[in-house]
């Protein structure tokens, strides 16, 4: 059985404050999973917007108790009930929806599939997963690929980076002629950069702690790389500042922005901070002429995105239903095959034991008598447990077992 634990931007009511919870969960969960004998396999998924643990177990109640303790240890009471636990079919359905981008802040975004695949690869390399979760995640990746190839769900503004650029265009009307700064040069900053192509900004500055990375990204935009110590000069010269660093703390401070605004002559400045946790101090948005948007500000674009993609979402959900039916059929057949395999081994052992005895007797006894004894002994050994358990079931009023025997041995019409 599959039992899974989830904390997401949806269950937490937004991204704000989610990073602190996720950081605590990340530090604690691995040790708790390793320490639980009831967990046969586990895989942890951690992104900016979600923390999830998928487990394979034969003891659901114990694993659910472990998840309850994990939630109690890592999620403060004031945060409310932000975690939830799913079992088996619901867990698998949720996994398929996540990997397709249906549970993302920006519906249809591609990055989540790469993140899920990386989590799977890491768990496999660390030896945390076996046949059950491997089978499940292999299938999930196929589902994600189907949705992205057979529907238009991932077309258009379908990433946090593209949504950030779209939000900037909504605020300015156009980015044509604007001076834009990107703080950061990692994956998210790269996505933002790709979405700036064709928007015709006058100048694009890229600033990053590692100047070499800033140079590489700036070249893609025909922009200018700036050293990190000149970051505040870049801010002072810009109309739009897109912040996407991996720093665990604020890098843009109230005092620096206040100073930068003194010589701008009422020229407005827009910050869009897509970093998790925030990299721009909240008070920056209180400075006259400065607007500050964060990940939670992208929610309206996310809602518009869902409204525009109703047909694509329905197509994706149809594919998920197909794949869920397929996986349920395969799992049922797998259970039957395992039972058949065990039964074949047991019956084979009985046959070999009786056959060996018959071969020994064949050397001295009458062959017809040996064959008669062999067939009788074989039949008795093959059916003795069946007859014993049938009589026991009948005495206990277990008619389901009796009916099952009639079905299994083709006795329904007799």
pLDDT computed for residue 406 by the predictor: 84
Kindly indicate whether the domain formed by 2-154 is annotated with CATH number 2.40.50.150: no
Indicate the angle between helix axes 160-172 and 299-308, nearest 10 degrees: 100
Which H or E run contains 6?
strand 2-8
The reported pTM is 0.73
Helices (H), 127-210: 131-150, 160-172, 187-196
Is 70:20 a contact under the CB 8 Å cutoff? no
pLDDT computed for residue 138 by the predictor: 96
Whole-number Cα distances in Å, 310 to 148, 173, 305, 328, 411: 15, 26, 9, 27, 52
Residue 37: count other Cβ atoms within 10 Å of its Cβ: 9
- CATH class (in words) of the domain with range 160-299: alpha beta
Where do the CATH 3.30.460.30 domains begin and end in the chain?
2-154
pLDDT computed for residue 157 by the predictor: 53
Closest CA to 1 of 48, 73, 55, 69: 55
pLDDT computed for residue 390 by the predictor: 85
Query: Measured at the alpha carbon of residue 13, what is the angle toward residues 147 and 184, in degrees to the nearest 5?
Result: 70
User: Which pair of structure tokens corresponds to residue 261?
Assistant: 């605004």
Rounded Cα distance, 87 and 94, in Å: 10
pLDDT computed for residue 224 by the predictor: 94
Closest CA to 243 of 267, 278, 269, 288: 278
pLDDT computed for residue 207 by the predictor: 95
pLDDT computed for residue 213 by the predictor: 94
pLDDT computed for residue 160 by the predictor: 84
Catalytic machinery residues: 48
Residue 183: count other Cβ atoms within 10 Å of its Cβ: 30
End-to-end alpha carbon distance in the chain: 38
pLDDT computed for residue 2 by the predictor: 95
Q: What is the mean pLDDT of each run of 10 residues along the chain (414 residues)?
A: 91 71 90 95 91 95 95 87 93 96 87 93 94 94 95 77 90 94 92 90 94 94 93 92 91 93 88 90 94 85 78 94 92 79 85 86 84 85 85 88 84 70
Where do the CATH 3.40.50.720 domains begin and end in the chain?
160-299
User: Which pair of structure tokens corresponds to residue 230?
Assistant: 């000149």
Which H or E run contains 3?
strand 2-8
pLDDT computed for residue 158 by the predictor: 64
pLDDT computed for residue 304 by the predictor: 77
């Amino acid at each position: 059985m599959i039992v899974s634990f989830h904390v997401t931007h949806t269950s937490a009511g937004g991204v704000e404050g989610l990073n602190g919870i996720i950081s605590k969960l990340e530090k604690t969960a691995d040790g708790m999973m390793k320490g639980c004998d009831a967990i046969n396999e586990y895989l942890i998924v951690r992104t900016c917007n979600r923390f999830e643990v998928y487990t394979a177990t034969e003891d659901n109640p114990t694993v659910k108790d472990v998840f309850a303790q994990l939630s109690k240890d890592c999620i403060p009471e004031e945060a409310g009930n932000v975690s939830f636990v799913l079992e088996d079919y619901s867990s698998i359905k949720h996994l398929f929806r996540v990997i397709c981008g249906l549970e993302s802040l920006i519906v249809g975004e591609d990055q989540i599939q790469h993140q899920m695949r990386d989590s799977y690869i890491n768990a496999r390399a660390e030896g945390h997963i076996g046949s059950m979760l491997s089978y499940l995640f292999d299938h999930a990746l196929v589902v994600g690929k189907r949705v992205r190839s057979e529907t238009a769900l991932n077309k258009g503004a379908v990433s946090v980076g593209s949504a950030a650029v779209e939000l900037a265009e909504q605020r300015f009307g156009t980015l044509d002629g604007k001076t834009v700064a990107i703080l950061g040069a990692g994956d998210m900053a790269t996505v933002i950069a790709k979405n700036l192509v064709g928007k015709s900004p006058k100048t694009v500055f890229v600033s990053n702690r590692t100047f070499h990375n800033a140079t590489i990204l700036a070249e893609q935009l025909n922009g200018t790389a700036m050293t990190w110590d000149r970051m505040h000069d870049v801010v002072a010269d810009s109309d739009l500042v897109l912040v996407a660093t991996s720093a665990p703390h604020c890098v843009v401070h109230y005092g620096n922005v206040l100073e930068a605004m003194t010589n701008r002559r009422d020229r407005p400045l827009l910050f869009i901070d897509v970093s998790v946790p925030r990299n721009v101090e909240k008070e920056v948005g209180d400075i006259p002429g400065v607007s500050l948007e964060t990940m939670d500000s992208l929610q309206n674009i996310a809602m518009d995105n869902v409204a525009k993609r109703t047909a694509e979402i329905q197509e994706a959900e149809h594919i998920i239903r197909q794949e869920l039916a397929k996986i349920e059929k395969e799992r049922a057949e797998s259970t039957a095959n395992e039972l058949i395999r065990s039964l074949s081994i047991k019956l084979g052992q009985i046959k070999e034991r009786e056959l060996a005895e018959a071969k020994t007797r064949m050397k001295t006894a009458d062959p017809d008598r040996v064959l008669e004894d062999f067939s009788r002994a074989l039949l008795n050994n093959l059916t003795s447990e069946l007859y014993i358990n049938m009589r026991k079931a009948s005495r206990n009023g277990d008619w389901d077992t009796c009916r099952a025997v009639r079905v299994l041995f083709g006795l329904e019409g007799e």
